[in-house]
Chains A and B, each alone.
Chain A
Amino acid sequence: MKTLILPKEHLDFFGSVLQQFGELHGPVAHGEQFVFRRLNRWSEIRLDYTRTILPPKKYFLPPRERLFRYRRGAGWVPETADLERRIVLFGVHACDIYGLNILDQVFGGRYCDPYFATRRRHIAVIGVDCTPDEHCFCRSMRADFVSQGFDLFLQDLGDRYLTFVGTALGDDMVLATQGLFGDVTPVDIEEYKRRSAERRGAFRLEAEIRDLPEIFEMEYQSGLWEELGERCLGCGACSMVCPTCYCYDVADEVELGSGDSARTRTWDSCLFVDHALVAGGENFRASRASRVKFRFYHKQRGFVAQYGRPSCVGCGRCIEACPAGIDIIAVIARLREVDHAATC
């Protein structure tokens, strides 16, 4: 991969150059937290952010979007108006890029979701490295580094960024600066390695995911799930903040007056009581315990069987967002505990 050096003193200028590639969006402060949104000024960007409330998923699979408009005579006409808006999303962490790569698998498999795919092609992703905090466990989920799914990725080396160029578009961005980027020297490589090792040692949370699917299978009847069902409020916050949760609901709404209607999809959550409810009233996951279990089971067991890895990137958002204090690391630890789950 093409690798270059960007001196930090040029970062502001690079930001202004990027505007020719689309609307500039990035992490900004929002109270005590952070959100991704359009930058009014480059100085708003907070590259020291920990995690944003919502992952960048919202740009590719919006919380609510119109898929079709139905008109008498014309039928269902796809709503494509907003899909080709060019955006440069600056400052995405490795785990969130990994989350996008996982969504690529879901929405670009045997069937391709053209809404997601069109946005993915029009939104540039510029990654930036980060320091783990007390909720981060991306390393356990093998998502602390990412080698694809971005146009550029910046690694902080103190007064400069080591820059990985991931795509032709990323290369065009570099070229558009007309010489802002320099060559990598052996000193840069040494510094990168030093910081990489340092970061590796900074993780405070750890979960072992090998053979976790098997442990989930064996602990399917564990009393732990009932316990979690008692605590869970069924609010779905964990799904909303998750970079890889992709469940959605679809509904038609009539537009008053015209008789036309719109088909809209919105984010959904497997914690919601009607997620597995079928017409006629049969609910395959009526109890909250069964829904909590399903969410963990699908991410750590079901997704692994279908796509070869868990649909979790260890971003820590669900730990931070859960009002009931349900913590995936603690759940995995309990399941792995000898003399615990099967007997409780």
Chain B
Amino acid sequence: MPQLAEAPGPALRPNWSINPYQPALAHIVRVHRMVPNNHLFTLRFADRHQVETFRHAPGQFVMLSVPAAGEAPISISSSPTRPQVLELCVRRVGRVTNALYRLRSSDVVGLRGPYGNGFPVDRLAGNDLLLVAGGLGMAPLRSLLWYALDLRERFQAITLLYGARTPADMLFRDELVSLADRPDINCLLTVDRDPQGDWTQHVGLLPALFDHVEVDPARTFAAVCGPPVVFRLALERLLALGFSKDRILMSLERRMKCGIGMCGHCSVGYKYTCLHGPIFTYWDAINLPELV
């Protein structure tokens, strides 16, 4: 039985200048009412130094505080290649997010982070990227999408498969539809239903989009995010295509109260979503019960 490695209590050094729970003040710059109950909030730190120095990796998240309401983990939807502000796609679903929806431009929120491992962008470089998103799963993948498009020469072929229930439910719809014209990305968008009848892209379930793409699993990394059903179906397709379990990356969501591996809520098996994730390989997922 190994003994505890480090010196005990008295060696702990409380340092209040790096209190990991301390939210930094930030202002709402803009609220884009992208989809009902799924707005895109653009935030900027109040402190200039922080605006200049904050750096995140695609796939990381922040803990967002709304005064008098609480704190919640939110993935960063903007790419680190576009600094100065942070874009958070927030679904109105709980106490904190409901309070956020009552705020307007220039109102104050709190931010701390970034947390989590993020996508291993250095490992992804030089490979093809296949992004697979369902519903809200586009929120964390959009950071990786624009990272790859802004640093286009670092990656080979880029493919995006994104499915939403209806065109009105599609996150970043205008932006993504305009990508259809770009020659350097294969952007396939689908909706389950098209009630208005004015949708010009695919209609049908997300997995059907796999029939329209050709990928070489040996030189491709897949990044998947969405509700559990999307994980199940996408994984099925990716494995059938011959993807190695190490080349399938999944962005997961868990309840979190701290973001730094202490509060226990995001624990899956022997890992914490906040510290060891939220990006896991499918191999991790197989070895961590309850992960998907």
Q: Do A and B come from one complex?
A: yes
- Report the interface size class on chain B: 35 or more
Closest-CB distance, A294 to chain B (whole angstroms): 8
The A262-314 residues at the B interface (CB cut-off 8 A) are 263, 265, 268, 270, 274-280, 282, 284-285, 290, 294, 297-298, 301-309
Q: A76-B110, A306-B270 are in contact. Are A275 and B255 (CB under 8 A)?
A: yes
Q: Is the beta-carbon distance between B254 and A290 smaller than 8 angstroms?
A: no
Q: Which of B5, B16, B253 contacts A308 (CB 8 A)?
A: B5
Chain B minimum-CB-distance residue to A239: B264
The A93-112 residues at the B interface (CB cut-off 8 A) are 100-102, 104-112
Q: Which of A100, A101, A120, A250 contacts B258 (CB 8 A)?
A: A250
1/0 contact string of A180-209 vs chain B (CB within 8 Å): 000000000000000000000000000001
Q: Is the beta-carbon distance between B14 and A121 smaller than 8 angstroms?
A: yes
Q: Which residues of A contact B108 (CB under 8 A)?
A: 75
Q: Which residues of A contact B7 (CB under 8 A)?
A: 148
Q: Which of A105, A209, A301 contacts B270 (CB 8 A)?
A: A301
Chain A minimum-CB-distance residue to B255: A278
Is A82 in contact with chain B by the CB < 8 A criterion?
A: no
A112 to B290, CA, bound (A): 28
Closest-CB distance, B63 to chain A (whole angstroms): 10
Is B72 in contact with chain A by the CB < 8 A criterion?
A: yes
Among B50-58, B89-97, B177-185, the one that faces the other chain is: B89-97
Is B262 in contact with chain A by the CB < 8 A criterion?
A: yes
A-B contact pairs, 13 of them (CB 8 A): A76-B110, A101-B9, A104-B8, A112-B13, A112-B20, A120-B12, A167-B10, A169-B10, A248-B257, A259-B68, A274-B255, A280-B91, A298-B270
Closest-CB distance, B227 to chain A (whole angstroms): 8
Among B21-29, B160-168, B217-225, B237-245, the one that faces the other chain is: B21-29
Q: Which residues of B contact A80 (CB under 8 A)?
A: 16
A110 to B116, CA, bound (A): 12
Q: A113-B20, A250-B257 are in contact. Are A280 and B9 (CB under 8 A)?
A: no
Q: Is the beta-carbon distance between B70 and A278 smaller than 8 angstroms?
A: no
Q: Is the beta-carbon distance between A117 and B1 smaller than 8 angstroms?
A: no
Is B65 in contact with chain A by the CB < 8 A criterion?
A: yes
Extra pairs beyond A260-B68, A268-B257 (14, CB < 8 Å): A70-B68, A75-B25, A76-B65, A104-B6, A107-B262, A108-B11, A117-B14, A120-B12, A247-B263, A268-B265, A278-B254, A304-B270, A308-B5, A309-B1
Q: Which of A76, A118, A167, A268 contacts B14 (CB 8 A)?
A: A118
Q: Is the beta-carbon distance between B257 and A249 smaller than 8 angstroms?
A: yes
Q: A75-B23, A148-B7, A247-B264 are in contact. Are A279 and B13 (CB under 8 A)?
A: no
- Going nearest first, the 6 A-B pairs with the smallest beta carbon separation are A247-B264, A149-B8, A302-B270, A305-B270, A117-B14, A261-B68
A210 to B2, CA, bound (A): 11
Q: Which residues of B contact A263 (CB under 8 A)?
A: 70-71
Is A172 in contact with chain B by the CB < 8 A criterion?
A: no
Q: Is the beta-carbon distance between B267 and A125 smaller than 8 angstroms?
A: no
Q: Which residues of A contact B213 (CB under 8 A)?
A: none
Q: Is the beta-carbon distance between B19 and A114 smaller than 8 angstroms?
A: yes
A270 to B93, CA, bound (A): 23
Q: Is the beta-carbon distance between B23 and A76 smaller than 8 angstroms?
A: yes
Q: Which of A70, A78, A270, A278 contacts B253 (CB 8 A)?
A: A278
Is B204 in contact with chain A by the CB < 8 A criterion?
A: no
Q: Which residues of A contact B97 (CB under 8 A)?
A: 279
Q: Is the beta-carbon distance between B68 and A254 smaller than 8 angstroms?
A: yes
Q: Which B residues form the contact surface with A (CB < 8 A)?
A: 1-16, 18-23, 25, 65, 67-72, 91, 93-94, 97, 108, 110, 227-228, 253-255, 257-258, 260-265, 267-271, 275, 289-290
Q: Is the beta-carbon distance between B290 and A279 smaller than 8 angstroms?
A: no
Closest-CB distance, A209 to chain B (whole angstroms): 8
The SS class assigned to the B binding surface is loop
Q: Which residues of A contact B260 (CB under 8 A)?
A: 110-111
Chain A minimum-CB-distance residue to B97: A279
Q: Which residues of B contact A117 (CB under 8 A)?
A: 12-14
Q: Which residues of A contact B289 (CB under 8 A)?
A: 220, 297
The residue among A105, A106, A111, A260 with the most chain B CB atoms within 10 A of its own CB is A111
Chain A minimum-CB-distance residue to B1: A142
A246 to B261, CA, bound (A): 11
A115 to B70, CA, bound (A): 19
Q: Is the beta-carbon distance between B263 and A250 smaller than 8 angstroms?
A: yes
Q: Is the beta-carbon distance between A284 and B12 smaller than 8 angstroms?
A: no
Q: Which residues of A contact B253 (CB under 8 A)?
A: 278, 282
Q: Is the beta-carbon distance between B21 and A107 smaller than 8 angstroms?
A: no
Q: Which residues of B contact A42 (CB under 8 A)?
A: none
The residue among B6, B91, B263, B270 with the most chain A CB atoms within 10 A of its own CB is B270
Q: A279-B97, A302-B267 are in contact. Are A70 and B14 (CB under 8 A)?
A: no
Is A21 in contact with chain B by the CB < 8 A criterion?
A: no
The residue among A109, A118, A276, A298 with the most chain B CB atoms within 10 A of its own CB is A276
Q: Is the beta-carbon distance between B261 and A111 smaller than 8 angstroms?
A: yes
